[in-house]
Structure 1
C-alpha cells in the first residue's frame, strides 16, 4: 500500500485523474473535425485515448500529418485549438465530471503538502476550469500546454529546488509515467490498470490509502 507521507510535493495530471473528461474530449475532436472522414477522426479519438497526457496542439498536428498525411501551419493548429477550448469551457465546468475520490484526497492534503497540476490541457483553459469548479485554490500552481508535461515537471522541481525523492506524480497515462521517469521522481498510476505493467505504484481508490 502506498504511503504518501514521505512526499512533500504531489503533482497531479488533470484529465482522468481529477476530472472524468475523456468522452467530452473525444466529442470535442469530433466536433472540430466534423468536416473530415469519420474513419480518420476515429483514428484520432483512439490516439487521444492512448495518449491522454499529450496536448491538443500535438494531437491536431498528429491528425493532419500522420493520419491525413497533410502539412498544417501553426496558425491553423491554433485556430482548431481555440475551437476545442471553447467547447471544453462550456462542457467541463459541470462539477459532476469531477472524480470525487481524487478531490477528497486533494482536500485532505492541501494544507500539509505542495500540490500542483501538470496537464496536457491548454493552460488558460485549465486554470479557468479549476477556478470554476472550485478547486483552483487547492494548488500551489496549475500548469498546462503548450508547454510539454516533461518540461512542466522539470520546471516545478528546479524552480522550487525540491528534492526529487520528495516529489511524486500521479497520472493515468503512459505520458505521465514518462514525465515522472525522465525527471527522476516517483510515479503513481491511477484510473488505468494498464499502467501496472510499468509501475508497481498504483492506486485503485485514494480513500483506501494513508495520506
Structure 2
C-alpha cells in the first residue's frame, strides 16, 4: 500500500501463527465507552458554540486512540484560535476526566470481553494499551474488577508504539506472535509500526476505519485463538 507499513494478517480460526500474547485497546474493545467520550467532547465545547462542538466531535472521531491532551490542544488551537498553556490544558483534561470516569466504570462491556479474559488470562499474557491517561485507566480497570485478568495495563503517555515495544522487550515476545485488537485506525497503525498481527473491532452499524482486507470482528464473541 504505497510503501506504508501494514500489520501482519491475523487469522480468526486457527490459521494464524501461534499467539503468545494479546494486546487490547480499552475503549470500544473491552468496554462500550465510545459514546461516553463523544458526549464529553460535546460538553467540553458547547460553551464555544455549535461549530466548535461539531469540529471537536469530528476531530475526536477521526482520531480514535489518540490521547485527549493532543485532541484538546489541537481543537483549541485550530478551531478556537487559543493556544493552551500547560495549566489550561491540564484543567480541561481534568474536567474531561470528571465527565467520563464513572460513566466508563458503569458502562456495558463489549460482548464476549469478560468471558474471553476469564478464559485466557491464565494461559497467556494479556495487556491493555490505551490512549486514556494512565492513572485514570488504572482506576477504571480496578473499579471494573478487571485487574486480575491483565499482565499489565498501560495508558498514555507515551503513545502506543513505544509502549508496545517495551512490552515485547520486557516479556521476550516475538512481534509476529502477538495480536493487537483495536477499534481505531491509530491502533492499526501502531500494530503495523511494531510488527504485530491485528484484528479490528467494528461495532455493528458503524463504518470500518480500516483498510480493505483487514480482519475484523463485531465483538469479542468472535475472537478465537
TM exceeding 0.5: yes
Query: 1:19 and 2:27 equivalent?
Result: no
The alignment partner of 1:93 has SS state of helix
- Note the 1:29-40 alignment, pairs <5 A: 29-40=41-52
Corresponding residue number in structure 2 for 1:191: 202
Pairwise CA distance, 1:117: 0.3
Q: Which runs of 5+ in 1 are unaligned?
A: none
Indicate how the Cα distance of structure 1 residues 201 and 58 shifts in structure 2: closer, same or farther if over 3 A, else same.
Answer: same
User: Residues of 2 paired with 1:209 and 1:85: CA distance?
Assistant: 30
Corresponding residue number in structure 1 for 2:173: 162
Pairwise CA distance, 1:128: 0.6
Query: 1:116 and 2:91 equivalent?
Result: no
Q: Which runs of 5+ in 2 are unaligned?
A: 1-10
User: Residues of 1 paired with 2:223 and 2:156: CA distance?
Assistant: 31
Query: 1:202 and 2:216 equivalent?
Result: yes
What's the TM-score, normalizing by structure 2? 0.86
Larger helix proportion of the pair? 1
Pairwise CA distance, 1:200: 2.9
> How many corresponding residue pairs?
210
- 2:200–2:217 Cα contact (<8 Å) kept: yes
- Note the 1:112-191 alignment, pairs <5 A: 112-191=123-202
Indicate how the Cα distance of structure 1 residues 204 and 31 shifts in structure 2: closer, same or farther if over 3 A, else same.
Answer: closer
Q: Which moved more, 1:153-162 or 1:114-123?
A: 153-162
Runs ≥4 in structure 1, deviation > 6 angstroms? none
Pairwise CA distance, 1:29: 1.6
Indicate how the Cα distance of structure 1 residues 31 and 195 shifts in structure 2: closer, same or farther if over 3 A, else same.
Answer: closer
- 1:115–1:140 Cα contact (<8 Å) kept: yes
For residues 43-97 of structure 1, the C-alpha deviation after alignment (integer angstroms, 9 at most, x for no partner) is 1112211211001001111111122233111221111111111222222221x42
Indicate how the Cα distance of structure 1 residues 146 and 199 shifts in structure 2: closer, same or farther if over 3 A, else same.
Answer: farther
**What's the RMSD between the two structures over aligned residues?**
1.9
For residues 113-159 of structure 1, the C-alpha deviation after alignment (integer angstroms, 9 at most, x for no partner) is 10000001111111111111111210011111121112211221122
The alignment partner of 1:92 has SS state of helix
Corresponding residue number in structure 2 for 1:63: 75
What's the TM-score, normalizing by structure 1? 0.91
The alignment partner of 2:47 has SS state of coil
